[in-house]
Amino acid sequence: MATPRNQEWLLALLPVFPVVLLVMRLWYASRQDTQTLLLLVQSISPLGMLTAVLLTSVWVLPALILGGRVLGTLYWISARRSSWLVRTAQRLPSWVVVLAVVIGLFSWQLRFLPTLAMLAMAAAGLTIRDRFPHHEGLRTAFCYALPLMVALLSYVVLWPAISTAFAARDVPTSILLTLPPGAAVLLTGPVPEVAARTLTHGIAIAIAIFAPFLVGVIVMRAPILPLTALQVEEEGRTTVLVGYLVAGDDRMFTVLGREGAVSFVRNEALKSRVLCPDPGEVPRTPVNLHGWYVEQNMASWIAPSRPTLPVDSRCQGRSAG
């Protein structure tokens, strides 16, 4: 096997990506206005920004780890040649792969959990095939029996959601719930050597190119400031200002409107203030599994939720009373 090349420079660049995401998120929130951007940089806590980025992008880590492990090991057992993809897969400890599966179990949406199971079964089967090439019993158990049992269990458990997806003619959800479990057994063995490099490295390069853009789009939509409604009374007129609270002190509040305009409200003019609820993502599909919608992850499903309350009229831009 070839000696790994010095790639410490790549590890040094890894912390740069979250910083770039933070700056781009602030730039997007300021509507590309330099003065507003400087105000946000001065007022927003870096820890709060980092927390928002991590919460919205934590799901990408299991995808990258499992994808790299599966593609690298698949190429190695198919061609028995070293490459950057093989070295990456071999440097990933097994406990990191297991931790990635656990993180994915809680952070991936329900419709992507069959894909997570497929990747986990593929990683286990390929690892057994690589480390125990002459152990027929382990190969049969992990490369054939276990993926088939997991696929059968997935279809039984997910059948209510699968039937609802087909009834609603939701083609993407139907594919995501039905195709990955059955395909897991096909990913635990070698592919033809002629096509191995093109297949594995092509997929890996595509993931490396498009993953940052996908993460960037999701982070651009993540909330970074509390959405607040302020009822203001000035010169006998009552208005309601709905926007994101940037800062506040003993003299005034600074509010970033949803259109990007910055407003300064004096404390004497402020009559009331209310924290508006997060509107959240509107479900695009009615498909669910016993109340667990396919666009929800396990963490949000099992976590206690606040009781549903009527939306305050001030959050809709109308004065209270």
CB 270 within 8 A of CB 230: yes
CB 125 within 8 A of CB 119: no
Question: CA distances (Å), 210 to each of 30, 104, 248, in order?
Answer: 25, 19, 39
Instruction: Take residue 236 and report the two structure tokens written for it.
Output: 């006998």
Give SS3 for 252.
Answer: strand
Evaluate if residue 282 carries a pLDDT over 70.
no
3-7, 115-119, 139-143, 265-269 — which is least confidently predicted?
A: 3-7
Question: CA distances (Å), 67 to each of 14, 63, 133, 187, in order?
Answer: 18, 6, 22, 12
Distance of CA 164 to the CA centre of its chain: 25
Instruction: Take residue 228 and report the two structure tokens written for it.
Output: 């607040």
What pLDDT is attached to residue 203? Answer: 93
Per-residue pLDDT tens over the stretch 214-223? 888 877 777 7
CB 49 within 8 A of CB 18: no
Instruction: Take residue 47 and report the two structure tokens written for it.
Output: 């820890």
Is residue 268 packed enough to be buried (19+ CB in 10 Å), middle (13-18) or exposed (0-12)? Answer: exposed
Measured from the Cβ of residue 208, the count of other Cβ atoms closer than 10 Å reads 12
What pLDDT is attached to residue 283? Answer: 65
In this structure, what DSSP letter does residue 297 have? B
Instruction: Take residue 225 and report the two structure tokens written for it.
Output: 């400031």
Per-residue pLDDT tens over the stretch 283-302? 678 888 888 888 888 877 77
- DSSP H helices in 132-192: 136-140, 146-167, 171-183
The predicted model scores a pTM of: 0.79
Mean pLDDT of 104-132: 92
What pLDDT is attached to residue 149? Answer: 94
Question: CA distances (Å), 102 to each of 29, 61, 117, 274, in order?
Answer: 33, 11, 11, 38
Evaluate if residue 235 carries a pLDDT over 50.
yes
